[in-house]
Amino acid sequence: MQVYFQEAIFDNDSSMLTLRANTAEDLSLLLQKVVYINSMETPTPGTRGFDINTSVRCSDEKTKQSDPVISISGVSIVDSDQHLVKTGAPMLPKIKITVTQNVNDEEVDKTSESTLDWCKVHLKPSRDMDLEYFSSPASLIASLNISFEHDKQGILLKGKEKVKGYREILSKIHYFNTRADSYAKRIYTVQCAIDGGRVTSNELLVTVSYPLIRFSESSSLNFEVIIISASNFYFSHFP
């Protein structure tokens, strides 16, 4: 198959080859024909690495804009206890969401101007609907263009809203378990999307740890019982 390309150019020290073609298919065929040759009489053993970078230029000579990149970071292990889990433990107290985009080979922060489509928090394994539930900042959600849904998988926030709004809601969601001793920890992931859901973020894996309280066999326990009757008082002590 014949390929029509614009040019193939080496730089001055022949360490970089630039190929240009009219279509992505033609460029792919050209790349398949590139071979590496070592002209040394005794080539040095080892590996030879290389990088491939591509760019697309539209017919009007404008470079195609790269997709934004969403990154979620925060505390991956949240220490808690059984009492806090029963009364409401923060799930994502220090979550951070950033949006960047490559513009003219520079990473530009687009967080403040970007609009998210949804964020989800999924428990692993799925939650026990009879024991586990969540609380959310109702007044904050009502003031934003975001809906709050929850099911067996976890939580779904959706609606076109700025990153700041989503981050504030996520940081204020609490996890409850009415029988905290049913788990020693809870694992869940967080992920968000932009551009109509086409571009998704990384999945942040978070573990809420609340160890079970157990008495060891060597623990020394003392019980005191006071029995009160109408006429007599009895005091018993059990070592």
| DSSP category for residue 63 | B
User: What is the torsion angle, in degrees rounded to the nearest 10, for the CA atoms of residue 102, residue 108, residue 109 and residue 110?
Assistant: -60
For position 2, what pLDDT does the model report? 54
Q: Cβ(75)–Cβ(206) under 8 Å?
A: yes
Tokens read off for 175: 């996890």
125 prior amide bond cis, ω within 30: yes
Rounded CA-CA distance 238/222 in Å is 6
Q: Enter the pTM of the model.
A: 0.64
Give 41-83 pLDDT, tens digit per residue.
787 777 777 788 877 776 666 666 789 999 999 999 988 888 8
Give 87-145 pLDDT, tens digit per residue.
888 999 899 999 999 888 889 999 999 999 999 999 999 999 999 999 999 999 999 99
Domain with CATH 2.60.40 in the chain: 65-209
Rounded CA-CA distance 78/91 in Å is 8
For position 83, what pLDDT does the model report? 86
The topology (CATH level 3) of 65-209 is: Immunoglobulin-like (2.60.40)
For position 149, what pLDDT does the model report? 93
Rounded CA-CA distance 142/161 in Å is 12
For position 88, what pLDDT does the model report? 87
User: Tokens 């949804």, residue?
Assistant: 118
